Amino acid sequence: MAIVLAFSGGLDTSFCVPYLIETYGEPVHTVTVNTGGLADGEADALAAKSRRLGAASHLTIDARRDLFDDHLSYLIKGNVLRGGVYPLCVGPERVVQARKVVEAARQLGARAVAHGSTGAGNDQVRFDVALRMLASDLDVLAPIRELGYSREQSSAYLAERGLPVPQKTTTYSINKGLWGTTIGGKETHTTDTPLPDEAYPDTVPPAAS
């Protein structure tokens, strides 16, 4: 049997690869579903990273057309903005990613699918609901949520195995997609401190421009 992991290459899913292998004693196959966040060369880098983490195989699926045709085109036409200001950029990505991960799991004959969502945000619900609807016969694993690990604990786990993660990845969770980029970190859990300029991956602060 095997486990198929939705793999972004960030801290949480990087932690999941060796943890799932050690915990379940089964091969872990990683799947990266590109919904617009991969720059040139990143797909190859993610495949190499997956191998270093111990994955049995890695698959990159280009789902940008699926995301736009099936979801974003309708949201844009309807001018759908949460609270009138927030593009619903992440939710549709998760639906498409879940669908492609399940397709890969079927091809590989996996008995479970896994994701790296924590217990803090909506991603856990998006992935869980989509995966259970699409593949009710497969187990759905969410190690980070189940363990309640902090980003520091996950980073330490990898470092102990000779698999360190860059500090910026440890500090912030960044999701790049076709319609937008979201950032999560300690400052987003409260309302008294803004994100520092260096947390933003694709912008230059006005003072430095």
66, 99, 123, 154: the catalytic one is 123
In angstroms, the Cα distances linking 39 to 92, 144, 200 are: 20, 26, 16
Q: How far apart are CA 189 and CA 205, in angstroms?
A: 22
Instruction: Give the active site residue among 14, 50, 66, 94.
Output: 94
CB atoms < 10 A from the CB of 173, how many?
A: 21
8, 12, 126, 155: the active-site residue:
12
Count of residues in the chain? 209
Please say if 128 is a catalytic residue. Answer: no
Residue 18 and residue 55 in contact, taking contact as beta carbons nearer than 8 Å:
no
Which residues have C-beta within 8 Å of that of residue 62, sequence separation ≥ 6?
34
State CA 111 to chain mean position distance: 20
Assigned token pair, 2: 């095997």
| 191, HSE (Cβ side, Cα atoms, 13 Å) | 0
Active site residue 94: yes
Phi, psi of 30 (to 5 degrees): -100, 145
CA distance 175 to 113: 20
The candidate with the shortest Cα–Cα distance to 74, out of 197, 199, 168, 179, is 179
Whether 12 sits among the annotated catalytic residues: the reply is: yes
Catalytic residue set: 12, 94, 123, 173
